[in-house]
Amino acid sequence: KLNEKVDIDGNDEIGQLSRAYNFMSTKLSHIEKQRQDFVANVSHELKTPLSSMKLLAESLIMQPSTDTAIYHEFLEDIDSEIDRLNEIIESLLNMVDLDEEKLNLNYKLTYVNYLIEKIVNNIRPLAEKKNIKIIITQWEKIQIYLDQGKIYQALINIIHNAVKYTDEGGKITINIEREGRFAVIKVTDTGYGIPQESLPYIFDRFYRVDSARSRKTGGSGLGLSISNQIVGLHQGTIEVESQIKKGSTFIIKLPMDINQL
């Protein structure tokens, strides 16, 4: 049994050994608990869109004479549930990749500002659908060593969130500047904001402030944990400042001397 404890005390070698054993056993059962939670969470996340699809398909089967408009609407709902499933599976695969690739980042000397310009260009059509403006306010040309694909993903998750969690007509501002030995990227939105009590958890796997809203916008609750892991692998940090109903700022700091690590 993983959480079995040895009950021997004392300052001799046996006592020390048993304390070390108890310590390891607690650690192991903690890891085991995390693994179980993870499997439970993944199953839940995968089951939710599946259940909706099942319901939608069943109601179509039960009413064979439904008019085409309703057919169409139900199929569109099924289609977006399939997209959601796909997004979750992709995030899961990314996560596994990251766990395995720990020491295998493909560093290339990169202009952070051009990378961000590329992301913004890719996400702009989505923002325009909600009439949200994305503006790059401050623009310092900064060149650093990073894994382009990974940092692209880390940043697009954050900028995509800014679009997802901001109402129609809002604004996203991006700021790129140097601060000591760091390249600092700030992404500010005029969105819903994050409650103070949720801030410590938003980087946790599967954590969502408002799961109903997040589900509607297609979130899996994995995006920020992936971003955080990628930035961490680059020896950087992500901080958040947020005010409910005012908006949030995500501050990503990447060390510029990473090639020396």
Comparing CB distances to ligand ADP, the nearer of 87 and 110 is: 87
- The b-or-e profile of 18-29 (16+ CB within 10 A means b, else e) is beeebeebeeee
The distance of closest approach from Cβ of residue 161 to ligand ADP in the complex, given in angstroms and rounded to an integer, is 3
Contact 172, 124 (CB under 8 A): no
The distance of closest approach from Cβ of residue 242 to ligand ADP in the complex, given in angstroms and rounded to an integer, is 7
Contact 238, 249 (CB under 8 A): no
Nearest residue to ligand ADP, using CB? 219
DSSP letter (8 states) at residue 203: T
Contact 145, 108 (CB under 8 A): yes
The distance of closest approach from Cβ of residue 86 to ligand ADP in the complex, given in angstroms and rounded to an integer, is 13
- Nearest-5° Cα angle at 250, 248 to 254: 170
The distance of closest approach from Cβ of residue 180 to ligand ADP in the complex, given in angstroms and rounded to an integer, is 26
The distance of closest approach from Cβ of residue 167 to ligand ADP in the complex, given in angstroms and rounded to an integer, is 11
Comparing CB distances to ligand ADP, the nearer of 145 and 192 is: 192
Comparing CB distances to ligand ADP, the nearer of 170 and 255 is: 170
Comparing CB distances to ligand ADP, the nearer of 152 and 192 is: 192
Comparing CB distances to ligand ADP, the nearer of 73 and 97 is: 97
Tell whether the torsion through CA atoms of 55, 60, 66 and 72 is positive or negative. Answer: positive
- Backbone phi and psi for residue 41, each to the nearest 5 degrees, phi listed first: -65, -45
Comparing CB distances to ligand ADP, the nearer of 108 and 213 is: 213
The distance of closest approach from Cβ of residue 95 to ligand ADP in the complex, given in angstroms and rounded to an integer, is 11
Q: How far apart are the first and last CA of the chain?
A: 41
Residues within the interface to ligand ADP (CB under 6 A): 157, 161-162, 165, 189, 191-194, 202, 207-210, 214, 219-225, 248
CA dihedral 66, 72, 75, 79 (to 10 degrees): -170
The distance of closest approach from Cβ of residue 42 to ligand ADP in the complex, given in angstroms and rounded to an integer, is 14
Comparing CB distances to ligand ADP, the nearer of 113 and 248 is: 248
Tokens of 169: 């007509």
Beta strand spans in the chain (E): 107-111, 133-139, 143-147, 171-179, 182-189, 237-243, 247-255
